[in-house]
Amino acid sequence: MFDQHRNKFPLDDDTWNDYISCFHVMQVPAKTVLLKEGEVSKKMFLIEKGCLRAWFNSNGKDITFQFFFENETVASVESFRKKIPSLVTIQSVEPSLVWWIHKRDVDRIIGSLKTFPALQDLFIDAVFERMFEYMKHFFSFIKDTPLQRYLNLLKEKPQLVQRIPQRYIASYLGITTVHLSRIKSKLARNK
């Protein structure tokens, strides 16, 4: 599982082995909550098989904010970093095989590498990348119609549309399931 990530991290083998030995594996059924909105995140996850989603409660409704698939690391980044209550719940969509690591282990290892510029750069790049993703997602909410956003999703992440239930996709696109259904039938008619 971890071998395929080995070359991404400029660590010596001892540190790398220390790092991966901190991971625990778990098999969770669908709809398992891994982190609850309002709790402080103490774990980071890595998905071997399955998928997760981050969602938040909006006036009683469940709004999906992000999806995660195989080989992605998952954390409520703002909560993990700033030790504040998470804005989102993290939950499995499919039955999933997930590795997790304690924040204290991450902190310990990062702490021992404070003066390792290459790793810091990598980390900063990752944060920027995520920020950039958020920006683009936000921009698309303003620039595009729900139809355009759905077409984008079909184009950019076709497997997502296959694997994820409709209602999560609808809330991810910022619309109701009824409206998504209308969009789909409109597309089907014009085909």
Residue 153 binding DNA, by CB under 7 A: no
Site for DNA in 20-49 (CB under 7 A): 30
Q: Which stretch binds DNA (CB under 7 A): 2-10, 18-26, 132-140, 143-151?
A: 143-151
Query: From the CB of residue 164, how many other CB atoms can be counted at a distance below 10 Å?
Result: 20
Q: CA-CA distance, 118 to 115, in Å (whole number)?
A: 9
Give phi and psi for 118, each to the nearest 5: -60, -40
**Which does residue 181 touch among its own copies, DNA, none (CB within 5 to 8 A, set by kind)?**
DNA
Q: In the complex with DNA, which residue's Cβ is closer, 15 or 176?
A: 176
Task: Give Cβ neighbours of residue 162 (< 8 Å, ≥ 6 apart).
Answer: none
**Shortest separation between residue 3's beta carbon and DNA, angstroms:** 32
Residue 51 binding DNA, by CB under 7 A: no
The per-residue DSSP string of 62-98 comes to EEEEEEE-TT-EE--HHHHHH--B-SSEEEESS-EEE
- Rg (C-alpha) for the chain, rounded Å, is 18
Residue 184 binding DNA, by CB under 7 A: yes
Residue 146 binding DNA, by CB under 7 A: yes
Positions that interact with its own copies (CB under 8 A): 56, 58-59, 63, 65, 77-78, 81-82, 87, 114-115, 117, 120, 123-124, 127-128, 130-132, 134-139, 141-143, 174
**Shortest separation between residue 78's beta carbon and its own copies, angstroms:** 5
Residue environment code for 51-81, b if the CB has 16+ CB neighbours within 10 A, otherwise e: bbbbbbeeeeeebbebbbbeeeebbbbebbe
Which two tokens mark 144?
């595009």
**Shortest separation between residue 115's beta carbon and its own copies, angstroms:** 5
Residue 152 binding DNA, by CB under 7 A: no
**Which does residue 140 touch among DNA, its own copies, none (CB within 5 to 8 A, set by kind)?**
none
Query: From the CB of residue 102, how many other CB atoms can be counted at a distance below 10 Å?
Result: 14
**Which does residue 182 touch among its own copies, DNA, none (CB within 5 to 8 A, set by kind)?**
DNA
Residues that bind DNA (CB under 7 A): 30, 145-147, 165-167, 174-182, 184-185
